[in-house]
Amino acid sequence: MSKNYDVIIAGCGAAGLYAAINLPSELNILILCKRDLPLCNSSLAQGGIAGVYNSPGDNIQYHQNDTLIAGSFKNNVEAVHTLVSEAAQDIEHIIKLGVEFDKNPDGTYHRTLEGGHSHHRIFHHADATGKEITSTLLENVQQLSNVTIMENTMMCSVKQTKTGYSALLKLADDSYETCNCHFMIMATGGIGRVYQFTTNSAIATGDGITFAYEMGAKIKNLSYVQFHPTAFNNRATRECFLISEAVRGEGAYLLNCHKERFMHNYDERLELAPRDVVSHAIILES
């Protein structure tokens, strides 16, 4: 059995859902969800979303500089500029879609700090920002008549065709189906599951990177893997409970096995240094 679509989006996290919302309504779109709809890395995100939006005292140049510093100036500058300059319109867009960020008593948005940021620019919903964003985006997508979501569906392989792409899918009932499209968006998340312990969900296995590579994409900077340096120490499970850096942004600090603070020995930004710096310091102290 074969079905045809204009666009197939592999992944039902924030990126996949937001892509579906922003694509033209006349397109016939299929979203593939590997497991249950709520299960994705986006939904697990605690801290928040960074952006300069109605932010007195902050600007996109500060945000861009912070991002370049955190990336040791190895970033793609054009991509960083797009990120920081478009953040405001996307934050405003998802607010209009129904995302509720925490506010101060005076009605202004509360912004917190996270590692690598010099200004309070993290919009959040308590400590469950990802869940708030993805659940709201999903509610909006489910109202779109041009979008079909296939839950508990595994994309086994994908290949290029003369008119686009063809994907072999394993469905929830263990049957197989081929779906074709003119365009495909890979929004398959990270690769946390390749490590022994991770704060990522069990489905973060890097499928999209593999499929893209098999179709000829060049993969670079494989060592540049972002991960959270702090998690609940529970070796009974591979999926560790994340302790967000937003906690450190609100004043929490790190102690070594002697119950001594140590980040001052490694970086003047202390616990709010970028994640790679904090991770390196933790390893040296362990």
Question: Which residue shows structure tokens 């400590």?
Answer: 127
**How far, in Å, CA of 59 to CA of 65, rounded?**
10
Closest CA relative to residue 46, chosen from 166, 174, 188, 200: 200
**How far, in Å, CA of 15 to CA of 146, rounded?**
18
Give percent helix, percent strand, percent coil of the chain, each to the nearest 5.
Answer: 30, 20, 50
Closest CA relative to residue 114, chosen from 51, 192, 42: 51
CB atoms near residue 250 (< 10 Å): 11
174 burial type by CB count under 10 A (0-12 exposed, 13-18 middle, 19+ buried):
exposed
Catalytic residue among 35, 193, 238, 275: 275
51 burial type by CB count under 10 A (0-12 exposed, 13-18 middle, 19+ buried):
buried
DSSP state of 107: S
Contact indicator for 134, 14 with CB cutoff of 8 Å: yes
* 275 carries an active-site annotation: yes
User: Cα Rg for the chain, rounded, in angstroms?
Assistant: 20
**How far, in Å, CA of 97 to CA of 68, rounded?**
30
Q: How many helices (H) and strands (E) does the chain have?
A: 8, 9
The catalytic residues are 275
